[in-house]
Structure 1
Amino acid sequence: MKCVLLVLALVCGIQATIIPQVKDLHIQKLEGKWNTMLMAATYAPLLNNSSTYKVFIKNMKVTTQKDMEITLSKQVNQNCEESHIVALKTQDPAVFMVDFEGKQKVTVLDTDYDHYAVFCMEVPKDDVQKYNVCQYMTRTMNPKEGEMMVNFAKILKNMPQQPQIILNMVQMKEHCRV
């Protein structure tokens, strides 16, 4: 009986950490300009101004190896610094690995390819627990803010951990976002 309970606890624990994601992602449709509009984190300090995780996705381009090259912008000492990371494909088309503060898993939670995309990065807390930092991105700088917030909230509701903080970058007028 103890073994059955242990197995059930392990299975339920593993299932609870599964992040919902896009089925049948078409990576080439994600290419192009993007604008970070909303950010969320399951641990609030991950999105403070000095955090390395408060970055703004600007552009995505598929490489010849079918990986994704991502252009990022971040505020450093009152200036915007641009950098590039490569998101390496995995066997799961909606999951990528990036070398950003160590090896991190990035999952595409949802997208309609033409208007919005939602990505989440797993950030290790320790050997067992992980935090998530998520971004809601749009193709335009002027999306319908109310619809965007409702859509992001619906997507995040399915996460195993709920965010402690959600930042609306449109209202904050972050200069590295544009």
Structure 2
Amino acid sequence: MKSNTSVMLFAVYLFGVIVSLNSLPMVPGGGEISSTYDNSSTCIRNYITNILKYKTLSKLSTAELFILEDPNLLEKLDSFKDNSFISDYSKFRFDPEFIARVTEAWDQVRRGLEEGNPVNDKEAHAILLDITKKKINEKKDNNELKTLEYYAVADHELYHPIAFFIEDVKYCV
């Protein structure tokens, strides 16, 4: 009887730890939240919008661009759920693997800038190319994307958004 109570208490404790860890904000380096977190979040947002804008067949309206630049976009996504561009944006923004890899690329560029090592830019480029192609293909295969339905994921088509991202990171650091 005593062991059942101990197991139950341990399970409740473990559940509490898991819930509290899941409620913590995603921080790029696993450390404390800083202004670089805000910058990386903005860069990731810009990267996603550049991917979507670069090959979108129809041009974005001024209203769509205004929505995407809204600092409270994540809280307002529900009210924009009928907009296909916003819907595709959220498919990337809430994909933890995509965000983790883009954050890894952010760290590579930042570290390279601090160390004066341009090789890090190449590594970041490779990370971004790999994860972006993978996620676009995954989402296309699952019929999740509307604005990128004709996106042929050739490497050269992603160079433009990737170059913007790397320059954004350098500017933010």
**TM-score if structure 1 supplies the norm length?**
0.33
Q: Which of the pair has more CA radius of gyration?
A: 2
**TM-score if structure 2 supplies the norm length?**
0.34
